[in-house]
């Protein structure tokens, strides 16, 4: 029966992928690439894809409580990823990076009237908190559907 070590192994590579995607995005933003290019390199789409991967692996590995395991895997993955992304918002404020996601109109830390406390703390923290909630919701949807399909397929095969 799988245990917590298996769960940690499950999220290691997805965390690394998200970190690389985040670093590439920051590099692309610093080079001044158009927003259409920058948007390709974001972790938002990973919040849809990785729960599907997690759910598939959870069923394949035979975890006893698959939905709870999906929740745990999602939080274990999203927590470090969202901390790193929050750090990019601080970096965006410090370096005044000209990118759509950092503009005040996009709830970013750059713009008229943004104070240092907002740029260094409040806006990165708000981004972190909102995306943690969204990560769990998206995992419940995409991962939940995947769990249902995989479990049904396994039941039919048995």
Instruction: Please spell the DSSP secondary structure of 55-124, one letter per residue.
Output: HHHHHHHT-SSHHHHHHHHHHHHHHHHHHHHHHHHHHHHHHT---GGGBGGGT-SBSTT--HHIIIIIHH
pLDDT tens for residues 51-71?
Answer: 999 999 999 999 999 999 999
| pTM over 0.85, yes/no | yes
In angstroms, how far is CA 54 from the centroid of its own chain? 13
Q: Which DSSP state fits 33?
A: -
What are 138-150's pLDDT values in tens digits? 999 999 999 999 9
- Give me the domain span that covers residue 106: 4-157
Count of the separate structural domains present in the chain: 1
């Amino acid at each position: 029966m799988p245990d917590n070590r298996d769960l940690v192994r499950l999220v290691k590579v997805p965390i690394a992928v998200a970190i690389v995607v985040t670093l590439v995005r920051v590099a692309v933003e610093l080079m001044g690439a158009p927003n259409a290019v920058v948007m390709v390199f974001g972790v938002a789409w990973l919040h849809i894809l990785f729960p599907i991967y997690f759910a598939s692996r959870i069923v394949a590995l035979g975890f006893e409580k698959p939905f709870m395991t999906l929740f745990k895997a999602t939080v274990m993955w999203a927590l470090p990823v969202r901390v790193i992304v929050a750090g990019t918002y601080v970096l965006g404020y410090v370096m005044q990076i000209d990118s759509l996601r950092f503009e005040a109109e996009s709830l970013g830390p750059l713009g008229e009237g943004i104070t240092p406390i907002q740029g260094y703390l409040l806006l990165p923290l708000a981004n972190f908190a909102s995306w943690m909630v969204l990560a769990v919701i998206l995992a419940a949807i995409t991962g939940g559907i995947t769990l249902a399909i995989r479990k049904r397929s396994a039941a039919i095969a048995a």
